[in-house]
Amino acid sequence: MMSSKSKLYRMILAAMFLALALVLPFLTGQIPQIGSALSPMHIPVLLCGFFCGPWYALTVGFIAPLLRFILFGMPPIMPTGIAMCFELATYGLMAGLLYKCLPKKKSYIYVSLIGAMLAGRIIWGAARVVLYGLGKSEFGWAAFMSGAFLNAIPGIILHIVLIPILVMSLEKYTEK
């Protein structure tokens, strides 16, 4: 059972990660051609999974694109924002679950991260298929591969390099 102090600590961290998810796209948007390909909203959601656990991260991941659309009009809500809600929720959930269940070794941070990224991209593709189907438009294999992997290469590399470093560096400062 989690103490009330620990719950409050995780809620504060989750709120901080949500705020980062809203602000980071402004910073990466200043980088021509690859700013959005860095997937800046994904970083705080994945970190939330590692530090706050799966349920807080699922919530932050689902809320972040909706709140960013309401506040700033980006990402466009249909189909991008809705698909991102499911993708980021899956990222947070899976990062948190895998990190919680796997042994506490450095190599398993990578396993948790890559597992979460793959699951999130699969859910993103499924959401796009459903959303495009509602709009009587087609979302095929080529569009999935392009959107989930090819166009996302800068973000994938950034996440695989940055997130494990942050998790390993900040683990010792977080409350268990």
Q: What is the rounded distance in angstroms from the CA atom of residue 111 to the CA atom of residue 109?
A: 5
Domain range enclosing 23: 4-173
Q: How many domains does the chain have?
A: 1
Phi, psi of 102, deg, nearest 5: -85, 160
Q: What is the chain's pLDDT, residue by residue, as a tens digit (176 residues)?
A: 678 888 999 999 999 999 999 999 998 877 766 656 788 999 999 999 999 999 999 999 999 999 999 999 998 998 889 999 999 999 999 999 999 999 989 999 999 999 999 999 989 888 888 887 766 667 666 666 666 666 778 889 999 999 999 999 998 777 55
The domain that holds 122 is classified in CATH as 1.10.1760.20
The per-residue pLDDT for 131 is 82
pTM for this entry: 0.91
Smallest Cα–Cα separation from 51: which of 17, 19, 102? Answer: 17
| Beta carbons of 102 and 148 less than 8 angstroms apart | no
How far are the Cα atoms of 3, 46, 162, 163, 165 from residue 155, in angstroms, in the given order? Answer: 36, 13, 10, 11, 15
The per-residue pLDDT for 15 is 98
Tokens of 38: 């860095």
CA 53 to chain centre: 13
How far are the Cα atoms of 53, 85, 90, 93 from residue 98, in angstroms, in the given order? Answer: 10, 20, 12, 8
